[in-house]
Structure 1
Amino acid sequence: MDIIKQIEQEQVRENKFEFNVGDTVVLDYRIKEGSKERIQKFEGTVIKIQGTGSRKTFTVRRVAYGTGIERTFPMNSPRVEALKVIRKGKVRRSKLYYLRDRVGKAAKVKEKQSFR
Structure 2
Amino acid sequence: MAGLITRGDIWIVNLEPVFGREIHKKRPALIISNNAVNQDTYHVVVVPGSSIAPISQTADMVYLGKVKGFKEESILLPVLIRSIDQDRLIKKIGKISQQKLLEVEEAIKLVLGFDVIT
Same fold by TM (over 0.5)? no
Name whichever structure is richer in strand by fraction.
1
Which of the two has higher C-alpha Rg?
1
Name whichever structure is richer in helix by fraction.
2
| TM-score using structure 2 length | 0.44
